[in-house]
A and B are shown apart, each in its own frame.
Chain A
């Protein structure tokens, strides 16, 4: 196939039009998010849908969260051990795993795992509803799809990610303790005493404020790409991929800004 043949099938778009589309997408995302949040203060609240989504998102993500947390803690302990041994400070491993998991790795790893599982699920479910006209049918039947579908998903993800992060932190510490005691021969009780005592308010606060933001990012991005789906089943696949990529990147971006903001706010180094 010649370059000419290849280019004849490619739709070229002017930079201005491209920029307009991107700005429009950001505007639509902000509007959807704002509308979803405003719906929290409007009747009805769809409690049953919130609980159903909490079960799907929270309980459904339990296994991947536990596994990801455990292995992250174990790997963190193993990698730290070689470095700490050089300085004769292997006993600090509990503190390192504890602070590392609770302040940063627990929330981020859990956020990324839940994003991979649920942002894609939301985008594909809502996208399928769009292309099969179920969203139009819902509007035609007098129900606001943002209130019925988007708001419950945002609330559930935000709340459940908070608890999943706590579990992930706990299992990360367990994974670290398994490595510390079984491979490195450290005392089990000493490990847990050190892990507990090193944690300050700032560490716990930093670790538990993050999932609130990440939960919002995951659900709002997943729902946005789902609701913006066009182009049939191919469009559903495209939305699903974009939702996972965008939510994962946004989690890391929010992490960077949040860490800086919390450092300034709480004053720790």
Chain B
């Protein structure tokens, strides 16, 4: 029995209300080659799902599909209860105000400074007064501890700072879902830990559902074994045995197919040779 039929036995077209994102047997083909081949998974509200896989396995493509930037060749995608598979771009613009994304290389607008980058969505929507926008920008930059860079251009920032500004830009509208595309890729260990701490803070303080694409297993395991201490204002390690309290799951792709979908405990006890090799 396929994973899809196990997850969706009745082939229902309605997304369960408890899920932020649902992929239902999604297929995508680029230049006659299947990039995603029958991908199915669910992201419950409030949970973070780390997506692993070798380069070219289709990890980033999943994020673009979840945001409607790409359309699948077959299958269905539900985001926040809405079927986005055949949704028009105008309707997707509305839905995207509830979903934030941090791109692999930050994708900050070169010609705009940090303030304008972070405020971009609010300015474009044209519904928020200038004073409120300024307040929201400072609040978002304060979350990523980069208030002092507000008037700087992206070219004046380091790689880690650009990622943090990208996170600020993604969270300024307090989205219900966040998509992170390799937020720590190419960064040093200290900066990577700082970024992961921000992700844990977003997950535990704002209870945001998120998909995290990463090459670094360590990042996902840190997220699975740590929680954010609101009193201390920093990330802290959970005592042994309390890992199940963290809303964290893992999805592993291989050649466009899902070969694992479960929590940290299941991952640690998997018998799949490829996954064991991948984890080692």
Using Cβ atoms and an 8 Å threshold, which residues of chain B touch A137? 101, 103, 107-109
A51 vs chain B, min Cβ distance (A):
15
A18 vs chain B, min Cβ distance (A):
15
The one of A44, A138, A140, A144 in contact with B67, judged by C-beta atoms closer than 8 angstroms, is A140
As a 0/1 sequence over residues 135 to 147 of chain A, the CB contacts with chain B under 8 angstroms (1 = contact) are 0111111111000
Tell me if A27 counts as interface (CB < 8 A to partner B).
Answer: no
Are A142's CB and B121's CB within 8 A?
yes
Tell me if A134 counts as interface (CB < 8 A to partner B).
Answer: yes
Are B64's CB and A142's CB within 8 A?
no
Chain B, range 96-110, C-beta contacts under 8 Å to A: 96-97, 99, 101, 103-105, 107-110
Measured CA separation A139–B95 after assembly (Å): 11
Are A144's CB and B121's CB within 8 A?
no
The one of A132, A134, A142 in contact with B93, judged by C-beta atoms closer than 8 angstroms, is A142
B116 vs chain A, min Cβ distance (A):
12
Tell me if B69 counts as interface (CB < 8 A to partner A).
Answer: yes
Measured CA separation A134–B101 after assembly (Å): 12
Are A141's CB and B124's CB within 8 A?
yes
CB closest chain-A residue, reference B96:
A142
Interface-centre pick from A44, A134, A137 (highest chain B CB count, 10 A): A137
Are B124's CB and A140's CB within 8 A?
no
- A133/B96 contact (C-beta < 8 A), A141-B120, A142-B121 known: no
Using Cβ atoms and an 8 Å threshold, which residues of chain B touch A139? 69, 89, 93, 96
Q: How many A-B contacts at CB < 8 Å in the complex? A: 49
Using Cβ atoms and an 8 Å threshold, which residues of chain A touch B67? 140
Interface-centre pick from A132, A136, A140 (highest chain B CB count, 10 A): A140
Tell me if B169 counts as interface (CB < 8 A to partner A).
Answer: yes
Are A140's CB and B110's CB within 8 A?
no
Are A142's CB and B124's CB within 8 A?
yes
Are B126's CB and A141's CB within 8 A?
no
Measured CA separation A44–B120 after assembly (Å): 15
Are B121's CB and A133's CB within 8 A?
no
- A140/B109 contact (C-beta < 8 A), A44-B126, A133-B103 known: no
Are A143's CB and B124's CB within 8 A?
yes
As a 0/1 sequence over residues 106 to 150 of chain B, the CB contacts with chain A under 8 angstroms (1 = contact) are 011110000000001100111000000000000000000000000
- A141/B105 contact (C-beta < 8 A), A44-B126, A134-B110, A136-B69 known: no
CB closest chain-B residue, reference A142:
B93
Using Cβ atoms and an 8 Å threshold, which residues of chain B touch A138? 109
Are B69's CB and A140's CB within 8 A?
yes
B8 vs chain A, min Cβ distance (A):
27
CB closest chain-B residue, reference A44:
B126
A14 vs chain B, min Cβ distance (A):
13
Measured CA separation A134–B117 after assembly (Å): 11
Are B104's CB and A133's CB within 8 A?
yes
As a 0/1 sequence over residues 217 to 251 of chain B, the CB contacts with chain A under 8 angstroms (1 = contact) are 00000000000000000000000000000000000
As a 0/1 sequence over residues 76 to 116 of chain A, the CB contacts with chain B under 8 angstroms (1 = contact) are 00000000000000000000000000000000000000000
A149 vs chain B, min Cβ distance (A):
11
Measured CA separation A139–B70 after assembly (Å): 11
Measured CA separation A144–B94 after assembly (Å): 12
- CB<8 Å pairs between A and B, sample of 27: A44-B126, A128-B110, A132-B107, A134-B107, A134-B108, A136-B107, A137-B107, A137-B108, A139-B69, A139-B89, A139-B93, A140-B67, A140-B69, A140-B96, A140-B99, A140-B101, A141-B96, A141-B124, A141-B169, A142-B93, A142-B94, A142-B97, A142-B121, A142-B125, A143-B120, A143-B124, A144-B89
Known: A134-B108, A134-B110. 15 other contacts (CB 8 A): A134-B107, A136-B69, A136-B103, A137-B108, A138-B109, A139-B69, A139-B89, A140-B67, A140-B69, A140-B96, A141-B96, A142-B94, A142-B97, A142-B125, A143-B124
